[in-house]
Structures are given as structure tokens and as C-alpha cells.
Amino acid sequence: MKKIAALLLAFTFYLSGFANDRDSLAILKERIQHFTDSINNSMKWETGKLTISNGDINLSIPPGYRFLNAEQSRYVLEDLWGNLKDSSILGMVFPIDKGPVDDSTFAFVVTFEQMGYVKDDDADDINYDDLLKNLREENVTSNAERVKQGLATFTLVGWAQPPYYDKTNKVLHWAKEYKVDGSEDNTLNYDIRILGRKGVLSFNAVGGMEQLPIVKKDIADILKMASFTEGNKYSDFDPKIDEVAAWTIGGLVAGKVLAKVGLWAVFAKFFKFILIGVVAAGGAIWRYITGRKKKEEEAVVTHEAEPVAESETPEEKTGE
């Protein structure tokens, strides 16, 4: 958050030179658009078939989406959106017509957690209604702790999409809806977990609830976006040498792995609000300047319009 504040300060100084221009507000808007375009245009997007994580994972970016590599994704998440450093970030997948500072943007954050082989024996036995109840209870406890620390609270509204596990393809996905303290719009966390031999590949869609229909529309293609290479697949597990994870399918949904993801959407929205705020501030500056100038001009006109008293003659002064 400090980086965003510093960015706002620098950006405000950058724009302040235009405050005295008669077309100040228009120029501010133009500069903001230039600023956001410069960030979006600096991104080196990739599409099609890719290999990431030292060749362990294949990606096939579906039509309508584009990929941002690990280095640039960390810049977006850490420097633009104000998150803590995270070495597990492998990239981000954005809609092809959206960038990191666009209005109503969302993205799938791609990470890999090397937690070991996750057994899926419990997949058919999980009662997700009971799990949601437990998650809400934990949410109340965690929010109480967040309040003590002076942090914003996140209230779990419910499932935006109930959990579903595809046992054939070893893919788990679900979505949660959160109410964020101080935000009018609810936040969407759409989670996808692809099980591998040594851990779990995660795709986390972060954005506003208004993006849910878009995600659901494309979810079939998105679920097929990634696969592990030979030797790293779930079926390649060797119980003699491979580590078994402490997590199960239910544990992945209930656990705190990547729980911080909820913050990403919030900071993305804050960035948008900051830019809007700068525009509004620019408009206020211009109204102040032009309003003050108008008052000064009116004062001059009023002063000039006042009748000037004729000078008294020497005779009047002496009473002669």
C-alpha cells in the first residue's frame, strides 16, 4: 500500500503542472489515460502454447486471453497492487482486452505450491455446506484479529460457485464471494487447483463479482489451460520416493493456501479509485482557480462601476 501511495504522490506532482491551464480537467483525463496506457503497453504479452516453471508445466492460453510472465506479474502484484513479495508466482492470465490498471479488470494469478502429492480419496465424501459453515466461523475469528491489527475485514458471503472435483482430470475448482470493508462492490475469488505429482498448480481469478459471468462462460477452456509435463503428472506419482501432502481435497478448499489472493482484487480497485480521485482533485483545483479568478474580475468590475465623488473645491473646504 505504501508503494501505491508513493505512486499517487508522484503522479499528483506530475499532473499539478497542468492545474493552471484553462482546459485543466480535460488535460488531467488525457494524462491519466496516457499514464495507464503506458503501463499496459509496457507489458510483454504472450499467447498460444507456453512452458513455465522450468519446463514442468504446459500452458495453452485460450482465445480471448493473454499471459504475463512471472517477472512482470510480480511487478503488477507487488509494485502496482501493493502485495507482499511471493516467489511462487508463475504469471498472470488477463482477458485480451484488459490490462492491470484498466477499469473492471480481473486476472488469473498462476502459482505453484510444492506441497507434495495430494490424495483425493476424500473427494466424494465432502459436505461442502458444512465446510462453508466452518469457513464462515473461521472468517469471524480472523476478522476479529484483523480489526486488532488495524486491517480491513473480509466477510465471506458464500459460494459464488460450489466446489467441484473432476476426478478424471484431477482438477478442483470453486468460487467464493467476499464483502470487503470499505468497498461497495463485492470481491470474487475463483479458485482452480490442478493436482500434480509434487504439488498443486493454482489459478486464482481475482476481480469484482460482476466478472463472474465472464469467468463461468470461459471456465471450460480455462480448466484445460494447463497440464503437467511427462514425469510431473499426477499419474507419475511414485510412493517409494515421492512425498505425500498433508492436504486433502477438502483441505485445499478449506485451507489458507493463497488466502491472501483476496487482497489483489481490492488493491486493483484502489488503483482505479486513486486515478479517479486524481481527476476529481484536478477538477476541484480548476474550479477553485477559475472561481477565484471570476470573483477577482467581478470585484474589479464592481470597483470600476462605482461613481467617483467629485473633488471638493477650495471654496467648499473653507465654506466660502
CA distances from 66 to 49, 94, 206 (A): 11, 6, 15
Confidence of residue 269 (pLDDT cuts 50, 70, 90): very low
Tens-place pLDDT, residues 48-63: 999 999 899 999 999 9
Give 268's pLDDT tier (boundaries 50, 70, 90): very low
- Its CATH class, for the domain covering 48-271, is alpha beta
The label of the residue with cell 475485514 reads 153
Mean pLDDT of 204-222: 88
Q: Looking at residue 26, what is its pLDDT?
A: 73
Nearest CA among 205, 123, 135, 125 for reference residue 166 = 123
Cβ atoms of 222 and 108 within 8 Å: the answer is yes
What confidence category does residue 163 fall into, taking pLDDT thresholds of 50, 70 and 90? Answer: very high
The pTM score is 0.73
Rounded to an integer, the average pLDDT of 108-130 is 92
- Tell me the three-class secondary structure of 242-277, residue by residue: CCEEEEEHHHHHHCCCCCCHHHHHHHHHHHHHHHHH
* pLDDT at residue 105 is higher than 50: yes
What's the chain's length in residues? 320
Tell me the average pLDDT of the chain: 77
pLDDT reading at 160 higher than 90: yes
* pLDDT, tens only, 238-252: 999 999 998 889 889
CA distance 166 to 170: 6
Q: What are the structural domain ranges in the chain?
A: 48-271
